[in-house]
Amino acid sequence: CLGAAIANSTCSLEDTACQCSDAALNNQASGCILATCTVKEALTTLNITTAQCGVAPHVDHSHIPPLIAFIALAASAVVFRLIARVVTKNHFWWDDLCNMLAALTCFTFFGVSVYITDLGIGTDIWAISFDDLTTLNSVAFSIIILYATCRFLIRTSIILFYIRIFRTTTAIRILWATFALNIVVFVPFFWVTIFQCKPIEYFWLQWDGQHQGECIDPNNFILASAVIDLVEDVWLLALPLAYIVRLRLPWKQKWLAAVMFAVGIWTFVFSVIRVPTTTKFSVTALTNTDSIPVILWSGLELDVGLFCACLPTIYPLLRQLTSDVKKHCPRDGRSKTGHSAPYSSSSY
Protein backbone atom coordinates (compact mmCIF):
# COMPACT_ATOMS: atom_id res chain seq x y z
CA CYS A 1 0.00 0.00 0.00
CA LEU A 2 2.77 2.40 0.91
CA GLY A 3 4.71 1.52 -2.23
CA ALA A 4 1.71 2.17 -4.45
CA ALA A 5 1.07 5.50 -2.75
CA ILE A 6 4.71 6.54 -3.15
CA ALA A 7 4.62 5.56 -6.82
CA ASN A 8 1.69 7.94 -7.33
CA SER A 9 3.48 10.79 -5.59
CA THR A 10 6.56 12.93 -6.18
CA CYS A 11 8.40 11.32 -3.26
CA SER A 12 11.12 8.70 -3.59
CA LEU A 13 11.37 5.52 -1.52
CA GLU A 14 14.36 6.97 0.35
CA ASP A 15 12.84 10.39 1.05
CA THR A 16 11.13 9.81 4.41
CA ALA A 17 10.64 13.52 5.07
CA CYS A 18 8.71 13.91 1.81
CA GLN A 19 6.56 10.87 2.56
CA CYS A 20 5.70 12.16 6.02
CA SER A 21 4.67 15.61 4.78
CA ASP A 22 2.67 14.51 1.71
CA ALA A 23 -0.98 14.48 2.81
CA ALA A 24 -2.27 12.92 -0.41
CA LEU A 25 0.26 10.09 -0.15
CA ASN A 26 -0.70 9.35 3.45
CA ASN A 27 -4.42 9.45 2.70
CA GLN A 28 -4.03 6.98 -0.17
CA ALA A 29 -1.80 4.68 1.88
CA SER A 30 -4.16 4.79 4.88
CA GLY A 31 -7.20 4.01 2.77
CA CYS A 32 -5.44 1.07 1.16
CA ILE A 33 -4.22 -0.27 4.51
CA LEU A 34 -7.66 -0.06 6.13
CA ALA A 35 -9.26 -1.78 3.14
CA THR A 36 -6.80 -4.64 2.68
CA CYS A 37 -5.12 -5.25 6.05
CA THR A 38 -6.35 -6.60 9.37
CA VAL A 39 -6.83 -4.20 12.27
CA LYS A 40 -3.65 -5.43 13.96
CA GLU A 41 -1.67 -5.04 10.73
CA ALA A 42 -3.05 -1.54 10.25
CA LEU A 43 -2.17 -0.52 13.81
CA THR A 44 1.33 -2.00 13.51
CA THR A 45 1.92 -0.14 10.24
CA LEU A 46 0.64 3.10 11.74
CA ASN A 47 2.90 2.64 14.75
CA ILE A 48 5.98 2.11 12.55
CA THR A 49 5.30 4.93 10.09
CA THR A 50 4.49 7.50 12.77
CA ALA A 51 7.66 6.55 14.64
CA GLN A 52 9.69 7.03 11.44
CA CYS A 53 8.08 10.42 10.94
CA GLY A 54 8.82 11.41 14.54
CA VAL A 55 5.14 11.75 15.47
CA ALA A 56 4.44 11.16 19.15
CA PRO A 57 1.09 9.61 20.14
CA HIS A 58 -1.53 12.04 21.35
CA VAL A 59 -2.26 11.61 25.06
CA ASP A 60 -5.30 13.18 26.72
CA HIS A 61 -5.80 12.74 30.45
CA SER A 62 -7.71 15.99 30.91
CA HIS A 63 -10.59 14.12 32.54
CA ILE A 64 -8.63 13.26 35.68
CA PRO A 65 -8.51 16.69 37.47
CA PRO A 66 -12.27 17.42 37.23
CA LEU A 67 -13.08 13.84 38.23
CA ILE A 68 -10.88 14.21 41.32
CA ALA A 69 -12.53 17.52 42.26
CA PHE A 70 -16.07 16.20 41.87
CA ILE A 71 -15.45 12.86 43.59
CA ALA A 72 -14.03 14.82 46.55
CA LEU A 73 -17.23 16.90 46.62
CA ALA A 74 -19.38 13.78 46.51
CA ALA A 75 -17.33 12.02 49.20
CA SER A 76 -17.62 15.06 51.48
CA ALA A 77 -21.39 15.05 51.04
CA VAL A 78 -21.59 11.36 51.95
CA VAL A 79 -19.50 11.90 55.09
CA PHE A 80 -21.64 14.86 56.17
CA ARG A 81 -24.76 12.79 55.55
CA LEU A 82 -23.52 10.18 58.02
CA ILE A 83 -22.57 12.87 60.53
CA ALA A 84 -26.02 14.42 60.14
CA ARG A 85 -27.66 11.10 60.98
CA VAL A 86 -25.72 10.96 64.25
CA VAL A 87 -26.00 14.61 65.29
CA THR A 88 -29.69 14.99 64.44
CA LYS A 89 -30.44 11.56 65.96
CA ASN A 90 -32.21 10.31 62.87
CA HIS A 91 -32.17 6.56 62.45
CA PHE A 92 -30.29 4.95 59.57
CA TRP A 93 -32.86 3.82 56.99
CA TRP A 94 -33.03 2.22 53.55
CA ASP A 95 -32.39 5.49 51.76
CA ASP A 96 -29.10 5.79 53.63
CA LEU A 97 -28.15 2.21 52.77
CA CYS A 98 -28.82 2.80 49.06
CA ASN A 99 -26.82 6.01 49.26
CA MET A 100 -23.87 4.20 50.79
CA LEU A 101 -24.03 1.52 48.09
CA ALA A 102 -24.25 4.25 45.45
CA ALA A 103 -21.21 5.95 46.97
CA LEU A 104 -19.26 2.68 46.92
CA THR A 105 -20.16 2.15 43.26
CA CYS A 106 -19.37 5.75 42.40
CA PHE A 107 -15.96 5.58 44.08
CA THR A 108 -15.24 2.35 42.23
CA PHE A 109 -16.18 4.04 38.95
CA PHE A 110 -13.68 6.80 39.73
CA GLY A 111 -10.94 4.33 40.66
CA VAL A 112 -11.41 2.35 37.45
CA SER A 113 -11.48 5.57 35.41
CA VAL A 114 -8.07 6.49 36.79
CA TYR A 115 -6.71 2.95 36.45
CA ILE A 116 -7.44 2.69 32.73
CA THR A 117 -5.20 5.67 32.02
CA ASP A 118 -2.31 3.26 32.63
CA LEU A 119 -3.82 0.90 30.06
CA GLY A 120 -3.89 3.65 27.45
CA ILE A 121 -7.25 5.38 27.64
CA GLY A 122 -6.89 8.81 26.06
CA THR A 123 -3.88 7.66 24.02
CA ASP A 124 -3.87 7.10 20.26
CA ILE A 125 -4.85 3.48 19.80
CA TRP A 126 -1.89 2.62 17.57
CA ALA A 127 0.47 3.30 20.48
CA ILE A 128 -1.20 0.71 22.76
CA SER A 129 -0.22 -2.95 22.87
CA PHE A 130 -2.75 -5.48 21.63
CA ASP A 131 -3.06 -7.13 25.05
CA ASP A 132 -3.71 -3.76 26.69
CA LEU A 133 -6.37 -2.98 24.09
CA THR A 134 -8.27 -6.14 24.97
CA THR A 135 -7.91 -5.44 28.70
CA LEU A 136 -8.93 -1.83 28.15
CA ASN A 137 -12.15 -2.81 26.40
CA SER A 138 -12.99 -5.37 29.10
CA VAL A 139 -12.51 -2.69 31.76
CA ALA A 140 -14.66 -0.33 29.68
CA PHE A 141 -17.40 -2.96 29.87
CA SER A 142 -17.18 -2.92 33.67
CA ILE A 143 -17.37 0.89 33.65
CA ILE A 144 -20.66 0.71 31.76
CA ILE A 145 -22.02 -1.72 34.37
CA LEU A 146 -20.83 0.52 37.22
CA TYR A 147 -22.43 3.59 35.66
CA ALA A 148 -25.82 1.92 35.24
CA THR A 149 -25.73 0.48 38.77
CA CYS A 150 -24.72 3.75 40.40
CA ARG A 151 -27.41 5.71 38.57
CA PHE A 152 -30.03 3.22 39.73
CA LEU A 153 -28.87 3.31 43.37
CA ILE A 154 -28.75 7.11 43.47
CA ARG A 155 -32.25 7.34 42.05
CA THR A 156 -33.49 4.68 44.49
CA SER A 157 -31.92 6.53 47.40
CA ILE A 158 -33.70 9.73 46.41
CA ILE A 159 -37.08 8.01 46.04
CA LEU A 160 -36.74 6.32 49.45
CA PHE A 161 -35.78 9.66 50.98
CA TYR A 162 -38.96 11.19 49.55
CA ILE A 163 -40.95 8.31 51.04
CA ARG A 164 -39.32 9.05 54.37
CA ILE A 165 -40.31 12.73 54.49
CA PHE A 166 -43.55 13.08 52.51
CA ARG A 167 -46.13 11.26 54.62
CA THR A 168 -49.46 11.99 52.92
CA THR A 169 -51.35 9.01 51.53
CA THR A 170 -51.30 10.32 47.97
CA ALA A 171 -47.59 11.06 48.12
CA ILE A 172 -46.78 7.62 49.48
CA ARG A 173 -48.73 5.91 46.71
CA ILE A 174 -47.08 7.99 44.00
CA LEU A 175 -43.62 7.44 45.46
CA TRP A 176 -44.00 3.68 45.82
CA ALA A 177 -45.26 3.55 42.24
CA THR A 178 -42.18 5.54 41.21
CA PHE A 179 -40.00 3.14 43.19
CA ALA A 180 -41.53 0.15 41.40
CA LEU A 181 -41.22 1.82 38.00
CA ASN A 182 -37.56 2.56 38.70
CA ILE A 183 -36.91 -1.15 39.22
CA VAL A 184 -39.03 -2.22 36.26
CA VAL A 185 -37.06 0.11 33.98
CA PHE A 186 -33.65 -0.75 35.42
CA VAL A 187 -33.81 -4.55 35.28
CA PRO A 188 -34.34 -5.01 31.51
CA PHE A 189 -31.90 -2.25 30.59
CA PHE A 190 -29.28 -3.71 32.93
CA TRP A 191 -29.87 -7.13 31.38
CA VAL A 192 -29.43 -5.74 27.87
CA THR A 193 -26.30 -3.87 28.97
CA ILE A 194 -24.67 -7.10 30.10
CA PHE A 195 -25.84 -9.21 27.16
CA GLN A 196 -25.57 -6.58 24.43
CA CYS A 197 -23.04 -8.80 22.67
CA LYS A 198 -23.24 -12.52 21.97
CA PRO A 199 -21.08 -13.98 23.36
CA ILE A 200 -20.54 -11.43 26.15
CA GLU A 201 -16.76 -11.36 25.69
CA TYR A 202 -17.22 -10.31 22.08
CA PHE A 203 -17.70 -6.78 23.48
CA TRP A 204 -13.97 -6.51 24.29
CA LEU A 205 -12.67 -8.89 21.62
CA GLN A 206 -14.36 -7.42 18.56
CA TRP A 207 -11.86 -4.60 18.08
CA ASP A 208 -9.38 -6.75 16.12
CA GLY A 209 -11.97 -8.09 13.68
CA GLN A 210 -10.72 -11.66 14.18
CA HIS A 211 -13.46 -12.96 16.47
CA GLN A 212 -16.97 -14.15 15.71
CA GLY A 213 -19.99 -12.60 17.39
CA GLU A 214 -22.65 -9.95 17.16
CA CYS A 215 -23.82 -6.92 19.15
CA ILE A 216 -26.94 -4.82 19.18
CA ASP A 217 -26.82 -1.31 17.69
CA PRO A 218 -25.20 0.66 20.55
CA ASN A 219 -26.45 4.06 19.39
CA ASN A 220 -30.13 3.08 19.48
CA PHE A 221 -29.72 1.41 22.88
CA ILE A 222 -27.85 4.41 24.32
CA LEU A 223 -30.43 6.85 22.99
CA ALA A 224 -33.36 4.84 24.38
CA SER A 225 -31.80 4.50 27.85
CA ALA A 226 -30.78 8.18 27.87
CA VAL A 227 -34.31 9.37 27.07
CA ILE A 228 -35.79 7.23 29.85
CA ASP A 229 -33.12 8.44 32.31
CA LEU A 230 -33.87 12.07 31.48
CA VAL A 231 -37.62 11.57 31.92
CA GLU A 232 -37.05 9.96 35.33
CA ASP A 233 -34.71 12.79 36.34
CA VAL A 234 -37.30 15.43 35.45
CA TRP A 235 -39.96 13.51 37.39
CA LEU A 236 -37.78 13.24 40.50
CA LEU A 237 -36.99 16.96 40.29
CA ALA A 238 -40.61 18.04 39.91
CA LEU A 239 -42.14 15.65 42.46
CA PRO A 240 -40.84 17.23 45.71
CA LEU A 241 -41.51 20.78 44.51
CA ALA A 242 -45.23 20.02 44.25
CA TYR A 243 -45.35 18.99 47.91
CA ILE A 244 -43.01 21.69 49.22
CA VAL A 245 -45.51 24.32 48.07
CA ARG A 246 -48.18 22.69 50.27
CA LEU A 247 -46.07 22.57 53.43
CA ARG A 248 -47.05 24.86 56.29
CA LEU A 249 -43.79 26.74 56.25
CA PRO A 250 -42.83 30.41 55.84
CA TRP A 251 -42.22 31.26 52.19
CA LYS A 252 -38.56 31.86 52.95
CA GLN A 253 -38.14 28.25 54.09
CA LYS A 254 -40.20 26.97 51.17
CA TRP A 255 -37.98 28.87 48.76
CA LEU A 256 -34.84 27.53 50.45
CA ALA A 257 -36.15 23.95 50.32
CA ALA A 258 -37.13 24.33 46.66
CA VAL A 259 -33.68 25.66 45.76
CA MET A 260 -32.03 22.81 47.67
CA PHE A 261 -33.98 20.17 45.75
CA ALA A 262 -33.56 22.06 42.47
CA VAL A 263 -29.78 21.70 42.73
CA GLY A 264 -30.46 18.27 41.27
CA ILE A 265 -31.07 19.95 37.92
CA TRP A 266 -27.30 19.79 37.40
CA THR A 267 -27.56 16.03 37.20
CA PHE A 268 -30.05 16.52 34.39
CA VAL A 269 -27.73 19.01 32.67
CA PHE A 270 -24.74 16.65 32.80
CA SER A 271 -26.93 13.82 31.50
CA VAL A 272 -27.91 15.93 28.50
CA ILE A 273 -24.27 16.84 27.81
CA ARG A 274 -23.20 13.21 28.14
CA VAL A 275 -25.57 11.77 25.52
CA PRO A 276 -23.82 13.14 22.38
CA THR A 277 -20.43 11.94 23.64
CA THR A 278 -21.64 8.34 23.95
CA THR A 279 -22.64 8.16 20.29
CA LYS A 280 -19.10 9.05 19.23
CA PHE A 281 -17.50 6.19 21.13
CA SER A 282 -16.70 2.92 19.39
CA VAL A 283 -14.58 0.03 20.58
CA THR A 284 -13.35 -0.50 17.02
CA ALA A 285 -12.40 3.10 16.23
CA LEU A 286 -8.79 3.85 15.35
CA THR A 287 -8.63 6.62 17.92
CA ASN A 288 -8.87 6.07 21.64
CA THR A 289 -9.33 9.73 22.61
CA ASP A 290 -13.09 9.67 21.89
CA SER A 291 -13.54 7.77 25.16
CA ILE A 292 -12.44 10.71 27.33
CA PRO A 293 -15.62 12.84 27.08
CA VAL A 294 -17.77 9.78 27.80
CA ILE A 295 -15.85 8.93 30.97
CA LEU A 296 -15.65 12.57 32.06
CA TRP A 297 -19.34 13.43 31.77
CA SER A 298 -20.46 10.06 33.11
CA GLY A 299 -18.28 10.54 36.18
CA LEU A 300 -19.42 14.12 36.74
CA GLU A 301 -23.05 13.08 36.38
CA LEU A 302 -22.67 10.37 39.02
CA ASP A 303 -20.76 12.62 41.43
CA VAL A 304 -23.28 15.45 41.17
CA GLY A 305 -26.14 12.98 41.53
CA LEU A 306 -24.60 11.56 44.70
CA PHE A 307 -24.02 15.06 46.07
CA CYS A 308 -27.61 16.09 45.35
CA ALA A 309 -28.95 12.95 47.02
CA CYS A 310 -27.07 13.89 50.21
CA LEU A 311 -27.77 17.63 50.22
CA PRO A 312 -31.26 17.59 51.82
CA THR A 313 -29.96 15.44 54.69
CA ILE A 314 -27.07 17.85 55.35
CA TYR A 315 -29.27 20.92 55.78
CA PRO A 316 -30.77 19.67 59.09
CA LEU A 317 -27.21 19.26 60.38
CA LEU A 318 -26.44 22.88 59.56
CA ARG A 319 -29.64 24.00 61.31
CA GLN A 320 -28.76 21.90 64.36
CA LEU A 321 -25.24 23.31 64.56
CA THR A 322 -26.49 26.86 64.03
CA SER A 323 -29.04 26.39 66.79
CA ASP A 324 -26.37 25.08 69.18
CA VAL A 325 -24.08 28.01 68.40
CA LYS A 326 -26.85 30.51 69.07
CA LYS A 327 -27.66 28.84 72.39
CA HIS A 328 -24.09 28.88 73.63
CA CYS A 329 -23.12 32.22 72.08
CA PRO A 330 -26.16 34.53 72.39
CA ARG A 331 -25.92 38.11 71.20
CA ASP A 332 -26.10 39.53 74.74
CA GLY A 333 -22.95 37.59 75.64
CA ARG A 334 -24.61 35.45 78.29
CA SER A 335 -24.16 31.70 78.08
CA LYS A 336 -27.18 29.42 77.88
CA THR A 337 -27.39 25.78 78.87
CA GLY A 338 -29.54 22.90 77.78
CA HIS A 339 -29.85 20.89 74.66
CA SER A 340 -32.20 21.17 71.73
CA ALA A 341 -34.76 18.51 71.02
CA PRO A 342 -33.73 15.67 68.77
CA TYR A 343 -34.26 16.42 65.13
CA SER A 344 -37.25 14.66 63.62
CA SER A 345 -37.47 13.44 60.04
CA SER A 346 -40.94 15.00 59.85
CA SER A 347 -39.29 18.44 60.09
CA TYR A 348 -37.48 18.07 56.74
For 237-255, the pLDDT digits (tens) are 888 777 777 767 677 666 7
In Å, how far are 86, 87, 170, 309, 343 from 327, measured between CA atoms?
20, 16, 39, 30, 16
* Measured distance CA(238)–CA(58) in Å, rounded: 44
* Measured distance CA(173)–CA(20) in Å, rounded: 68
Can you give the pLDDT at residue 75?
94
305: helix, coil or strand?
A: helix
CATH code assigned to 64-328: 1.20.1070
- Intervals of CATH 1.20.1070 along the chain: 64-328
Burial of 323 (0-12, 13-18, 19+ CB in 10 A): middle
Residue 215's DSSP bridge partners are 197
Q: Is 120 within 8 Å of 288 (Cβ atoms)?
A: yes
Can you give the pLDDT at residue 275?
75
Per-residue pLDDT of the chain (348 residues; tens, 9 = 90+): 888 888 888 888 888 888 888 888 888 888 888 888 888 888 898 888 888 888 888 888 888 999 999 999 999 999 988 888 887 777 888 989 999 999 999 999 999 999 988 888 888 888 888 999 999 889 989 999 999 999 999 999 999 988 888 877 888 899 999 999 999 999 999 999 999 999 999 999 988 888 899 988 877 787 888 888 888 888 888 887 777 777 676 776 667 666 666 677 777 788 788 877 776 655 444 456 677 888 888 999 999 999 988 887 777 666 666 665 556 555 554 444 444 333 344 444
Residue 197's DSSP bridge partners are 215
* Measured distance CA(63)–CA(292) in Å, rounded: 6
Q: Is 112 within 8 Å of 67 (Cβ atoms)?
A: no
Does residue 333 come out as left (phi exceeding 0), alpha (psi in the -120 to 50 range) or beta? Answer: left
H or E element that contains 164: helix 130-165
Does residue 104 come out as left (phi exceeding 0), alpha (psi in the -120 to 50 range) or beta? Answer: alpha
The total of other beta-carbon atoms located within 10 Å of residue 242's CB is 11
According to the annotation, is 324 in a ligand binding site? no
* Measured distance CA(9)–CA(6) in Å, rounded: 5
Burial of 44 (0-12, 13-18, 19+ CB in 10 A): middle
* Cβ partners under 8 Å of residue 135, min gap 6: 119, 204
Q: Which amino acid is at 197?
A: C
The total of other beta-carbon atoms located within 10 Å of residue 144's CB is 17
Can you give the pLDDT at residue 344?
41
